[in-house]
Structure 1
Amino acid sequence: MQVFDSGKIYDFMGKKLGSFVISCLLIFGSIFFLATKGLNYGIDFAGGTLVQVRYDGPAPIEKIRAALDLPNLSVTEFGSANEVVIRYSSASEQVAADPGRYIAKMLENTGNLEVRRVDVVGPKVGAELREKGIMAISVSLVLILIYIAFRFEWRFALAAIICEFHDVIIVLGAISALGLDVNLDTLAAVLTIIGYSLNDTIIVFDRIREGVQAGKSNDLNHNINESISATLSRTFMTSLTTLLTVLTLFFFGGDIIHGFSTIMIVGIVIGTLSSIFIAAPMLIWFKFDIAKYKEALAQKQRAKAEKERMRAMYEKGSV
C-alpha cells in the first residue's frame, strides 16, 4: 500500500540540523529527569510484596487505600473491576510473616473478599533482577553492534548503536517524567523497543546500501533521501498498525499493562523517527564515502571471482 508518492524524493537530509536540535533537547530533558527524579523501581527490582484480592462485586479501591497503612502502597485493578493487586515495599514483621492473612484482616470492612495470590520479593532478589535487566540491555546492544558491523560497515554499526542509545535514553526519561514503575514489564517494553527501532534502522540502511550499489551518483545526501523515500510508505504503515495495537492496550488493557503500553507508545514514535532523522544523517557526519565503498565492493568481487577461477582451474586439472 502506497501512502506516499513512490516516485517523489523527500528532502529528509535538508532537515537534519533541526532534527538534531530536537533530539538534543529530548536527550538533555531525559537526562535532567533521570538526574532529578530518578527511576521509580517497582517490587520486581526494589523488593516488596504483591497481594491479589478478589471481591464479590466491584472492588472499592479508595476504601482499600484508606484501610491499608503500608509504605509505598499501590492499588490497581487486575483484569476486571472485581480484582485488585496491592503492592507495597515493606511492612512490620507481623504483616510480613503472613501478608495474605493480615491484608485480609485489614480489609475485612471493605466487603466480601478472597486473597488469591501472594508474592514476596526480597531486596536481594530485586537487586539481582535489576542487575540482570541492565545486563540484558547491555548485551543486546553489543550483539547489535557486532551484527550490523558484519552485515553492513562499521559506520552503519556505530550509527545504529548511537540511535539505539538515543531511543533508550529518551524512553527512560519518559518513564522518569511520567513516574512509571520500573519492573519486569518495563524491561520487556524497553527490549521490545530496541528490537523495533533496530528493525526500522536496518530496513533504512539496507535500502541505502542497495541505492549506493545500484546508483551512479556519489552524492550521499541524495542516496539517503531516495532510499528513505522509497521505504517511507512501508515504515509509516508498519508503525501505524503497531501503534494502533498498542493504543488499544493503553485504552482498554486496564491498569495492569498501562505502564507497558505507555512505554511502547513513546518507543514506537521515537524509534520510527530516529531511524530516519538520527541514524541516517550519522552516515554523513561519519563521512561515509560512496566512491571508496564501491571500490571496496569491487575489490571483494574481483577477489571472489579470482577465487572461483582458481578453484575451477584446480578442479579441471584434477579430472
Structure 2
Amino acid sequence: MRFNWNYDYVKGSKFAYIFSIILTVAGIVSILGLGLNYAVDFKSGSNVDITVSKAITTEQINPIIKNMGVNEGDVHITPGADRVNVRFSNVLDENMESKFKQEFSKLDSTASYEVNTVDPEMAKELERNAIYAVLIASIGIMIYVAIRFEWRFGLAAVIALFHDAFVVISVFSIFRLEVDLTFITAVLTIVGFSINDTIVIFDRIRENLRFAKKTTKADLREVVNHSLAQTMTRSLNTTFTVFAASICLFIFGGESIRMFSLAMVIGTLFGAYSSIFIAAPLWLVLKGKQISKPKTAAKASN
C-alpha cells in the first residue's frame, strides 16, 4: 500500500517553529535555573559500580554510608537486581574505599567492585572537550554542506542540528536525567543521523530545482513540498528503524547505556521532525529573500 504524502509541509512548519521556540525557551530557563544533572564523568567524585549476587536495597546501604561519616545528601544510590551503583560527590580516599568494600561485603560477600574517580580538573576538562566536540562537528558539517550545495543549505542544516542537540539537552535538564559520557556520544550520533536525513531532502530539492520554475517564492514553496513528499517514505522508514533499535536498547540494555539509548530515542524523533519542518522550510526562507531582491531593485529603479 502506497501513501500519498502530498501535503503543505511549509504551512505546517509555522506550528513547528512555535513548538520549537517554546521548547527552546523552556530548555534555556531549565539549564540556567537548574543546570544539568552531571554524572561523575563531568564532576568530581567517586562512582562505585557493584556487581551483586542478590538484590540490595537502598535501606541496606544507607547504614554503611553513615558509618563512613559521609552525608547521605552527597551520595546517590541506584539499586538493582544484579548491579548497584553508588555515586559519591566527594572523592573517596583509599581508607574510605576500603571501609566501604569491607562493610558492603557483609551484605554480599561475593560482590565485585569497579571504582571510577574523577578529580575537579579532569571533570572540567571532560566538560570542555564535550562542548568542543559538538561545536567542531557542527562547523565541519556546515562547511561540507556549504561546499557540496550552497551556504543557505549549510546554514539551515546547522541550525536544525543545533535544534536537535539542544532539544535533547533540554529534556535531560527539565527531567533531571543524568548526563554522562555516553550522553555526549548519543548527541554526536544524533547529529550524524539528523544531517543524513537532511542531506537526502536537500539533494532532492536541488535535483527538482533543475527542472522547476523558480521565479517566485510560490515556485520554491512548491519545490520544497514536492521534494519532502518524495523523500517522506525513506525518511520515516529510516527513523522508525533507528527508533525501534533505540527503544530495544533502552528496554533490554544495561544500566550503563540507558541514558545513551534514551537520548537516541528522543533525538531520533526530533531529528526527523527538524529535517522536515525546520531545515527545508528555513532554506526556503533564505532562498526566497534572494528571489525577492531583483523585484525590489526593479521597483526602486522605476
TM-score, normalised with respect to structure 2: 0.86
Corresponding position: 1:145 with 2:142: yes
* Counterparts of 1:194 and 1:103, CA distance in 2: 41
The answer to whether the aligner puts 1:237 opposite 2:229 as a matched pair is no
Q: What is the match of residue 124 of structure 2?
A: 127
The 1:17/1:26 distance shift into structure 2, 3 A limit, reads same
Residue by residue over 1:6-31, the C-alpha shift from the partner in whole angstroms, topping out at 9 and shown as x without a partner, is xx522111212111111111111111
* 1:205–1:280 CA contact under 8 A, matched in 2: yes
Q: Post-superposition shift, 1:66?
A: 5.0
Equivalent in the alignment of 2:260 = 260
AA paired with 1:84? Answer: V
Contact kept in structure 1, 2:28 and 2:170, CA below 8 Å: yes
1:188 aligns with 2:190: no
2:110 and 2:57 map into 1 onto residues whose CA distance is 11
Whole-angstrom distance in 2 between the partners of 1:211 and 1:194: 26
Contact 2:105–2:111, Cα closer than 8 Å, also in 1:
no
SS at match of 1:50: strand
CA distance in 2, matches of 1:22, 1:3: 30
1:82 deviates by: 2.3
1:31-46 equivalent positions in 2, closer than 5 A: 31-46=28-43
User: What are the superposed Cα offsets for residues 115-145 of structure 1, whole Å, 9 maximum, x if unpaired?
Assistant: 3322211111111111111111111111011
Aligned-CA RMSD value: 2.2
The match for 1:27 among 20, 24, 33 is 24
Cα shift at 1:231 = 0.6
Q: Is the 8 A contact 1:52 1:116 kept in 2?
A: yes
Query: Match for residue 301 of structure 1?
Result: none
Conservation of the 8 A alpha-carbon contact between 2:48 and 2:115: yes
Question: Residue 118 in 1 paired to residue 115 in 2?
Answer: yes
The residue aligned with 1:309 is none
User: What is the one-letter code of the residue matched to 2:258?
Assistant: H
2:75 matched to 1:73? Answer: yes
Tell me which residue corresponds to 1:316: none
Query: Number of matched residues?
Result: 284
For residue 153 of structure 1, report the CA deviation from its aligned partner. Answer: 0.5
- In structure 2, the gaps of 5 or more residues are 293-302
Q: Percent identity?
A: 34
Q: How does 1:273-312 map to 2 (within 5 A)?
A: 273-288=273-288
Aligned 1:34-113 pairs, distance under 5 A: 34-69=31-66, 70=70, 71-76=73-78, 81-90=81-90, 95-113=92-110
Q: CA deviation at 1:198?
A: 0.9
Contact 1:47 1:123 in 2 (8 A): yes
Q: TM-score, normalised by structure 1?
A: 0.82
Counterparts of 1:86 and 1:252 in 2: how far apart (Å)?
22
Alpha-carbon distance, 1:265 to partner: 1.2
Report which stretch shifted further, 215-224 or 175-184.
215-224
Query: Are the equivalent residues in 2 in contact too, given 1:4–1:232 (CA < 8 A)?
Result: no
Residue 172 (structure 2) aligns with: 175
Contact in 1 for aligned 2:57/2:79 (Cα 8 Å) = no
Q: Shift of the alpha carbon at 1:61?
A: 4.3
Q: Secondary structure at the match of 1:214?
A: coil
Secondary structure of 1:110's counterpart equals coil
SS of match in other structure, 2:203? helix
